[in-house]
Amino acid sequence: MPGQIVFIAHVVTEVLNEGFLPAARALGLDPVIVTDLAAEHRRHFAEEDLQAYPDLILSCDVFNPLAVIETLQEAGIAPAAVFSHSDHLQTTTALVAQYFGLPGKDWQVCYRAKNKAAMRAYLAAAGAEPFWYRLVTAQDQLDAALADCPWPCVVKPREGVASLDVSLVRSAQELRDCCSRLWARQPGQPLLIEEYLEGPLCTLETLGDGERFEVLGGFRVELSEPPHFIEQAAHWGLELDERELQQMAGTLRDFGIGFGSCHSEFVLTERGPRLIEINYRTIGDGREFLLAETLGLPLFERVLQLHLGESLPALDLSDTRLLIHYVLATESGRLEQVPGPRRERWGQGFVDFQPLRRAGDRLELSHSNKDYLGVIRAAGDSLAELQERTAQLLAGLSWEVRA
């Protein structure tokens, strides 16, 4: 379907520039980027050698859907589709798509998926299994929450991403100290305190066209030791029985998830899968590119086709084993040396490495996914072989950090 597709973006991202932009061109679409960081996007496209470039970059406050609508109207753009990969911009994107009469997500579902307190409130009202949580923005609310807070518990920003500022706390004093640190940096920041769910973490990756809703699969995730929750590695394959899988998918459907791409996270507790969070967009941190290359599914094109109003076709996915491993910074400082990208192939498999930081970058440890230095991805027939080859490749990588 020819026409213009509008990408609503904040920061410059690899997934837009090397995933969705080339996909839009492959579908015969003319891409337009609307962003509040137009200078950064223009600089990136001027400096990088990429497969695809936007026709136009427009500047406006992308967190205000009315500003986006007015910007498009003033530019004379009647889009064929409106899309964003950003966690922060799904509600804006849904409202803009609705204004132009285009296929899109329900903005209310986008809002309550992003706002973790709204998600918990909606699940409670819908009769989900009881789950303790409190939203606090000030000391008096924290004092009230301490009256019945279960220990240990988890503190997280209400609209946080990438495990940033998420901590496990085991006592009232630790909870007070954690909230005080976060409020010293951002006074009045809404913080969600919730009960800690013990068990393995897994993801569920889904696609939907508003009527059909399909599960692509999911990753089993390896986390860092508490008090932080940094994703260190993951392998593709849930290894769940059908009842557990249907329970997870049913939770998402009941929440209102059903259009486009969705990445959600569950903890596999002794009582069954429990929802941790919903990211109403495609999975990130390099796993989207791994899935696009190995599943036998043109992932980026398929997601955009849903936003063009096309039905979700029957999916015939490969059963390849996948592994991803993240290299984490362990100290703050200036990166002096960074290993280059590399790929090794064998038979039907491969293992590769991509640096995520450049020499000269300044590192400030955040104890989150923002600390990734690079990513190793592997695909093949045997998980054990992938683990062995990943370890071998990792042993040959080195970084130099100067304080």
CA-closest candidate to residue 289, choices 299, 281, 280: 299
Confirm if 304 and 27 have CB atoms less than 8 A apart. Answer: yes
Cβ neighbors of 351 (< 8 A, separation 6 or more) are: 343, 344, 376, 377, 378, 386, 389, 390, 393
DSSP-derived secondary structure letter, 224: P
Q: What percent of the chain has pLDDT over 70?
A: 100
Is the pLDDT at 182 greater than 60, yes or no?
yes
Does 51 score more than 90 pLDDT? no
| Cα–Cα distance measured from residue 215 to residue 249, given in angstroms and rounded to the nearest whole number | 8
In the block, residue with structure tokens 């999916």: 315
Average pLDDT over residues 40-45: 93
CA dist., res. 394 & res. 32, Å (int)? 39
As a whole number, mean pLDDT of residues 160-179 equals 92
CB 205 within 8 A of CB 280: no
| Strand arrangement, sheet containing 362-363 | 362-363, 333-337, 400-402
pLDDT confidence of residue 2:
72
CA angle 105, 111, 116 (to 5 degrees): 130
pLDDT, position 163: 81
Residue 34 near residue 6, CB atoms below 8 Å: yes
- Which pLDDT score, from 0 to 100, does residue 49 have? 80
pLDDT band at 161 (very low <50, low <70, confident <90, very high): confident
Name the more confident of 375 and 51. Answer: 375
pLDDT, tens digit (0-9, with 9 covering 90-100), for 4-25: 999 999 999 999 999 999 999 9
- Judge whether residue 288 has pLDDT over 80: yes
* Whole-number average pLDDT of the chain: 94
Q: Is the pLDDT of residue 267 over 90?
A: yes
- Grade residue 35 by pLDDT with cuts at 50, 70 and 90: very high
Q: What is the pLDDT of residue 134?
A: 97
> Amino acid identity of 353?
F
The DSSP 8-state label assigned to residue 16 in this structure reads: I
pLDDT at 319: 87
Cα 227 versus chain centre, distance: 21
Place of tokens 């899309």: 83
Torsion angle of C-alpha atoms 14, 20, 21, 27, degrees rounded to 10? 160
Helical (H) or strand (E) element with 152: none
Distance of CA 158 to the CA centre of its chain: 15
pLDDT average, residue stretch 215-239: 94
Distance from C-alpha of 248 to C-alpha of 269, rounded to nearest angstrom: 12
* pTM for the model: 0.94
Cα separation, 30 vs 20, whole angstroms: 12
305-354, pLDDT tens digit by residue? 999 999 999 998 988 999 999 999 999 999 999 999 999 999 889 999 99
Whether pLDDT at 1 is above 60: no
pLDDT at 237: 93
pLDDT tens per residue, range 103-144: 999 999 999 999 999 999 999 999 888 899 999 999 999 999
Q: Which two tokens stand for residue 20?
A: 């969705």
Query: Is the per-residue pLDDT at 403 higher than 90?
Result: no
- Please report the pLDDT score of residue 383 as a whole number: 94
